[in-house]
Amino acid sequence: MKRSVVTGGAGFLGSHLCERLLDEGHAVICLDNFVTGTPVNVAHLTGHEHFRLVRCNVTDYVHVTGPVDYVLHFASPASPIDYLNLPIHTLKVGSIGTLHALGLAKEKHARFVLASTSEVYGDPQVHPQPEDYWGHVNPVGPRGVYDEAKRFGEALTMAYRRSHGVDAGIVRIFNTHGPRMRPNDGRAIPAFATQALRGEPITVAGDGSQTRSIIYVDDLVEGIVRMTFSGHPGPMNIGNPHELSILELAELVREVAKSESVISFIPRPEDDPTVRQPDISLAREILGWEPAVDLRSGLDSTVSWFRGHPDVIRRDASRPD
């Protein structure tokens, strides 16, 4: 039986990845310090004979007994509200945490996969963004703590591959949604869904013309798993090439939620990217992968998740869906 270690495994993405690896027949060791993740996300896995949840801060030390075949490094604050509130922790987990996770992979002769991000492209001047684009990032802006932590993590990953022969790879993750997102995590879809379900104004930054490309979590995990088993070094974009404006996204979430919320406009955050769209040619060629879940179907599942969340209380609970 293969053994996989997932750092940040009790987070939104990490928990779905743990679930999928168990389905693949792996024994899974989930490491998390619960700063942004929660044991609730993996509570349904704790009775599985091949799943183990360990409270661990990867910036301190990482040790796992026995053989390990895969190390998937997903530990990091990932939403703006988190990395802006935890800037130093974000930088530490992207640097020291990545160092420790790579050290574990080196010790165990394991395949290592770094969860990087489309944020390494910053506010891109090339559109759509291929993996060989170096990006346009403000290193001293408020978002720089996340962007540069991931860029450093990528450099460290490739250094371990070149200098220590670690079988390491990088996935660049684009905007993802699905069950187990936190209503208050500050990202667009949780904010829009929560506001729509509560009947509150849906707050769109700027004029809403900035674009994003949104992928459902099941599609993302499929791409990550294929990348993990491929042995390819990457970087590899894993995202949905379907691009839409933030205003269009807000209107679609409102429609899916059957809400009468109005759209309101708020100031746009500093260094907010104007466009974001992955070129997934490499993933199609190497992994035979592309998204399969259409945006509307994925949003149906995500909004349903928020509708049942205890922290999302509609103002008019008696109004029928």
What is the rounded average pLDDT of the residues 200-220? Answer: 97
Q: What pLDDT is stored for residue 314 in this prediction?
A: 55
Tell me: cis bond preceding 241? Omega within 30 of 0 counts: no
CA distances from 120 to 32, 149, 244, 245, 252 (A): 24, 9, 20, 20, 27
Structure tokens at 50: 């091949």
Q: What is the pLDDT of residues 141-189, one digit of tens each?
A: 999 999 999 999 999 999 999 999 999 999 999 999 999 999 988 899 9
Instruction: Tell me what percent of the residues of the chain surpass a pLDDT of 90.
Output: 94
In the chain, how many H helices and how many E strands?
10, 13
Q: What is the pTM of this model?
A: 0.95
Domain 3-176+214-238: top CATH class: alpha beta
Q: Which residues pair with 55 in a beta bridge?
A: 32
Q: What pLDDT is stored for residue 82 in this prediction?
A: 94
- Dihedral angle of Cα 172, 173, 174, 176, to the nearest 10 degrees: 180
Q: Over the chain, what is the mean pLDDT? A: 95
Q: What pLDDT is stored for residue 321 in this prediction?
A: 41
Position 223 pLDDT exceeds 60? yes
Considering the candidates 70, 83, 146, 216, report the single residue annotated as catalytic. Answer: 146
Structure tokens at 309: 């969340």
Residues in the chain: 321
For residue 317, what pLDDT band results from cuts at 50, 70 and 90? very low
**Catalytic annotation on 121?**
no
Q: What is the pLDDT of residues 24-63, one digit of tens each?
A: 999 999 999 999 999 999 999 999 999 999 999 999 989 9
The Cα–Cα gap between 156 and 306 comes to 37
Contact 71, 26 (CB under 8 A): no
